[in-house]
Amino acid sequence: MTASDHTGPVTLEQPAVETARETVADGIDRDALVTVFGRCTVEYDGRAASRLEAGDRHVMCKPDGTTLVHTDEGQQPVNWQPPGCSHEVYCEDDALFLESHRSTPEERLLVGFERVAQVSLFPISDSSDLTLVGTEEDLRQRILEDPGLLEPGFRPLATERDTPAGAIDIYGEDSVGRAVVVELKRRRVGPDAVSQLRRYVDALERDLHADASIRGILVAPSVTDRARGLLGEHDLEFVSLEPVGEG
């Protein structure tokens, strides 16, 4: 049974070179995700030129033309080609060659396998868009929808209020009418976030009349000990709040 007889994922271990070629070619024709693992060399010719001598590597070819070459280290590929490239596979001198070509600019990535340990095909369909959760915008919306999460009596007046030091995430008033500068952070923060909040408070004090009472509140899930100490030194405050509430 050949790879073309399957409609689902296909994995071949220690395939003959010609069998590996047929399987990879079938995967490319079917717009499948193709992976090849084995001992190979990698040559790149384009904006520069490079060569990786023989080593065990994992190569992935995506239906959109992307090619990624991974080793046993790091999260980034050691070489790659972007979407829009064409894939070609062929055999020569008992070796399997996988070539990725890009025309603009002219670039070529050639992977030559002296030994193929595994070939896999994965018919793939994924039309979902990435949805980010736990962002600073989520945190902002939590406070705007329920200002009491910051403190009772807090009233938001503006978001992204401009100052010479930058835009304030949330500007508002507390229950007795004092101006409040709110700086939002989606994760645990250190002294830099405190310094940023202090700059906003100082800038707003210069904008308003000299005797204006302005509070600065840093909102984040947590702060470091050093950040907590700086908050106290500068008469700034901290409220612990996660970007996404518990379900």
The contacts of residue 20 (CB under 8 Å, 6+ apart) are 12, 36, 96, 113, 116, 119
Q: Residue 172: is its pLDDT beyond 90? A: yes
| Residue 206 pLDDT | 85
Is 49 inside a domain boundary? yes
Looking at the structure, tell me whether residues 147 and 115 fall in a common domain: no
Is 131 inside a domain boundary? no
CATH number where 172 lies: 3.40.1350.10
Residue 189 token pair: 């923060």
| Residue 1 pLDDT | 43
Determine the Cα–Cα distance for residues 156 and 138; give it in Å rounded to an integer.
16
Looking at the structure, tell me whether residues 90 and 142 fall in a common domain: no
Using 50, 70 and 90 to split pLDDT, how confident is the model at 47?
A: confident
Is 247 inside a domain boundary? no
Strands (E), 107-245: 107-122, 155-163, 166-173, 179-184, 214-220, 237-240
Is 96 inside a domain boundary? yes
Looking at the structure, tell me whether residues 65 and 158 fall in a common domain: no
Looking at the structure, tell me whether residues 11 and 83 fall in a common domain: yes
Looking at the structure, tell me whether residues 17 and 104 fall in a common domain: yes
Looking at the structure, tell me whether residues 16 and 45 fall in a common domain: yes
CATH number where 49 lies: 2.70.180.20
Q: Residue 129: is its pLDDT beyond 90? A: no
Give me the mean pLDDT over the 117-137 stretch: 82
Q: Where are the alpha helices (DSSP H) in 54-179?
A: 136-145
The total domain count for the chain is 2
Determine the Cα–Cα distance for residues 236 and 230; give it in Å rounded to an integer.
8
| Residue 210 pLDDT | 59
Looking at the structure, tell me whether residues 208 and 232 fall in a common domain: yes
183-192, pLDDT tens digit by residue?
999 989 999 9
Is 130 inside a domain boundary? no
Looking at the structure, tell me whether residues 15 and 111 fall in a common domain: yes
Q: 3-state DSSP call for residue 94?
A: coil
49-105, pLDDT tens digit by residue?
999 999 999 999 999 999 999 999 988 999 999 999 999 999 999 999 999 999 888
Looking at the structure, tell me whether residues 20 and 99 fall in a common domain: yes
Using 50, 70 and 90 to split pLDDT, how confident is the model at 247?
A: very low
User: Which range of residues forms the domain containing residue 175?
Assistant: 136-240
Is 80 inside a domain boundary? yes
Q: Which of 122, 149, 176 is the last residue of a domain?
A: 122
Looking at the structure, tell me whether residues 106 and 159 fall in a common domain: no
Q: 3-state DSSP call for residue 162?
A: strand
Q: Residue 48: is its pLDDT beyond 70? A: yes
Looking at the structure, tell me whether residues 117 and 15 fall in a common domain: yes
Give me the mean pLDDT over the 98-119 stretch: 95
Q: How far is CA 140 from the centre of its chain?
A: 22
